[in-house]
Chain A
């Protein structure tokens, strides 16, 4: 009994130390992002967005849209993508061996003609079955290829892209009409330095969408989606804004990100052997350029560029979170070489954050819950300490999330109604009681998946693209 008590106490102290560390980091994240966003907002009046539209310097963008069984919404998505406000871009839809009539629907709607276009696979992909152009829409290309997964579909699009920049977009998400203008600004400002840029992502559930564009921002009704709204704010507004400011942004979400095409080609595109391909690519860029001592910047645009559907069922959400955590572990392992202090901020801040907090967090937190339960059950006498720790952890979670919401209220102010603001705060509070524990559990499951299938790492995952594949926030 005494030994158990001893172990529990030591563990408790360890967890407490970890908790203090995490809290400090989170507070720092919120503070730095507040400063960054504030500067950005204050400068909005002289940001010169119109210049980007008219400037001949604005680089062309190839929008790559992987589609798997999207016959229901694909036409509307493509129409809205063809109507973005941007001077020069093309849309490449890659049908990843859909089992439904995705290609047929597109063929009919856009009067596509099959063309024997030269497919020069600088990145090897699954077999291309046909390439289509539309006489009516000269900037639309549709590729029909055998199923190979999301990464494979994007790689195929990269092979066919003609513009200097590529932008990955999910077929089931909706872009803001100005999204490309916002997101290209870093490339226009510093063309020599910027190699990639991510954009803010919002939860589309509840948002009113008419003819493929967002007309009114509302909160979702489903509580599960509400929790994710809160989570997205924390991840994007507080997290990524800060990381890009420190030039160590490790993840650009697959739902919306812009990359230099030549660089992605050089790196061999998206990897097929990981479920976190978008994060993997970003880390790969960091490692490639850091190793070669080439100065670069990976930017993040904190405006919401893209609205994506969040899963509203526990089952889908669970598989999404499992996959995200597995992907996180995979890319951290693949790019452990980034942990070289000579590489600067990415090695000293970005990588350790993802390894120690994002990756290890659920493990430590789960351990905390176990110890709490054990001490209660065995009556070890330090229930008080454990309880206090629990209250503090949860309290701090609320604090950080509320801080992010405050930031959103002060800056972009998407949710204008009082009612919405109150609901956001309410869910920031409720998140700590149940939802958070669920995500911890799912992420641990992701780790278990990884351990169980350790030998099968090289095996390609064939997964669907719809619904759950939004991208890691």
Chain B
């Protein structure tokens, strides 16, 4: 029928093309169905085979791991290894996955076994295989085994023509943790053979072994290498490199400066304090933000004042980091946030509100207000709440159901007409009494209803710095 259809069309060429396409697509669909069916069958069979081999050897591998196996048991295990290459591969895989999970003598035992079963030699050979997949699998296995003897081959594999193999070789070198590998890895990155992620994770995995090599690279002539090294020393906690990092802060290459700033924070070394304070004035906003964060990580209280100033920075990101860093500073930071509530800087006030609310300080103060017996410290609570409200922190006031009077001071429910301005009251009292923060229930002459509270004011540790700030202000 189709042939008749074809005959009707108007040119020989079209007919041929049409016929070809028609037959081709029909055949292709049939072929696809056959392929899929075949593949599905093969996949199921393969899965069943692997499961069977695993079943057979799992117990033996587990007892090897449990350190129960003595020499004869190991011999027996070796003798019982399958001859079939596919099955051997499954057993090798089983051993390799277990190596990654154990330490100490059990690990040594399995590694020796892999060696004796000639798996190590097999993988070393496979590194020269023609299939990129085989080379990558071999590199992965050698890394898993931490096969020291594979170091030269793995270093050579960093120049492999397949990117996959190079990346896997880099990872394997990380597991070997040999300091000789640091320089070739960084060179691989600089020459574009390796993505930075592969190099970084490899070096980080090496741990302290890589320290000296990376520290050297901080003075490398290549910009990108310096920047990467600056990030790595921080991530690996290599505190010996602090001096070099401080030098990098004056660098004109921005990524190096930025990474050095971050790393100084991660290392938490006091030597970084002065240069980081200077970096709060960097021309680049990202560097300033990183410096603020780093100061929070170092956690030296003397940075608090500078961070408060940074809360008024021109960039949102810097302000946010500075606020967060103040919270990280603990008492000194919280006090500084409290001062910022009443500072002249509008931006700093808004960020102080957010930080105090997010850390839960504002909410706890509001709760204190509701349940507190009055006293001088409760004036401080009132002062805090008034300042919070004035700086824009109305959410806390509203959620806690606290009423404010015309001047923005909190009043106790039902007593709005009676209340006198707490600040004025405090001032008057200050003239009469000793200027001293009294944390215990302090009776005043006023007849405001007092919520029944404990005799000793329940001022918790985290709140007292805040109260101190406000008591000092009102006194």
- Chain A interface (Cβ < 8 Å from any Cβ of B): 9, 16, 20, 23, 39, 42-43, 45-46, 48, 51, 55-57, 113-118, 120, 122, 130, 133, 135, 162, 188-192, 381-382, 384-385, 387-388, 391-392, 395-396, 398-399, 402-403, 405-406, 409-410, 413, 418, 421, 425
Residue of A nearest to B205 (CB): A51
Q: In the complex the two chains form, is B316's CB within 8 Å of A130's CB? A: no
* In the complex with contacts A130-B395, A133-B358, A409-B40, A57-B201 CB distance below 8 A: yes
Chain B interface residues toward A at CB < 8 A: 2, 4-10, 14, 17-18, 21-22, 25-26, 28-29, 32-33, 35-36, 39-40, 43, 133, 136-137, 139-140, 164, 167-168, 171, 195-198, 200-201, 204-205, 235, 316, 319-320, 350-351, 353-354, 357-358, 360, 363, 392-396, 398-399
11 A-B contacts (beta carbon < 8 Å):
A48-B171, A115-B396, A120-B316, A122-B316, A189-B195, A384-B5, A399-B28, A402-B29, A402-B32, A406-B36, A409-B36
List A contacts of B399 (CB < 8 A). 113-114
A133's nearest neighbour on chain B, judged by CB, is: B358
> Across the two chains, which residue of chain A brings its CB closest to B138?
A46
Q: Once the chains bind, are B171 and A190 in contact (CB under 8 Å)?
A: no
Contact (A395, B195) CB under 8 Å given A113-B363, A122-B316, A388-B9: no
CB-CB under 8 A from B18, the residues of chain A are: 388, 392
Q: Give chain B residues whose Cβ lies under 8 Å from the Cβ of A406.
A: 32, 35-36
Chain A residues near B354 (CB, 8 Å)? 115-118
User: In the docked arrangement, what's the CA distance between A56 and B167, Å?
Assistant: 18
Name A115's closest neighbour in chain B (CB-CB).
B357
Q: For the complex, what is the distance from the CA of A295 to the CA of B140, rounded to whole Å?
A: 31
Contact between chains at B363 and A188 (CB < 8 Å): no
Q: Bound complex: CA of A115 vs CA of B14, how far in Å?
A: 72
- Chain A residues with CB under 8 Å of B28's CB are 399, 403
Question: Can you list the 10 inter-chain pairs with the closest CB atoms, starting with the nearest?
Answer: A384-B8, A120-B316, A114-B395, A46-B140, A189-B197, A115-B357, A384-B5, A188-B197, A190-B195, A385-B9
Q: Are B5 and A388 in contact (CB under 8 A)?
A: yes
Known: A391-B22, A409-B36. Contact between A116 and B353, CB under 8 A?
yes
With CB as the reference atom, state the residue of chain B lying closest to A409.
B36
> In angstroms, how far is the closest chain B Cβ from the Cβ of A138?
9
Indicate if the CB atoms of A43 and B25 lie closer than 8 Å.
no
Q: State in angstroms the CA–CA spacing of A341 and B327 once bound together.
A: 52
In the assembled complex, the CB of B50 is this many whole angstroms from the nearest CB of chain A, namely: 13
| A135: chain B residues within 8 A (beta carbon) | 360
- Name the B residues within 8 Å of A392 (CB-CB): 18, 21-22, 25
Known: A116-B353, A118-B354. A399 touches B133 (CB 8 A): no
Task: Tell me whether A396 and B25 are in contact (CB under 8 A).
Answer: yes
**Which among A46, A116, A189, A402 is the interface contact of B136 at CB below 8 angstroms?**
A46
Q: Which residues of B contact A191 (CB under 8 A)?
A: 196-197
**With A46-B140, A115-B354, A392-B18 as contacts: A387 and B5 at CB distance below 8 Å:** yes
Instruction: Check A115 against B395 for contact (C-beta < 8 Å).
Output: yes
Q: In the complex, what distance in Å separates the CA atom of A246 from the CA atom of B396?
A: 53
**What is the CA–CA distance of A409 and B36 in the complex, to the nearest angstrom?**
7
**In whole angstroms, how far apart are the Cα atoms of A55 and B200 in the complex?**
9
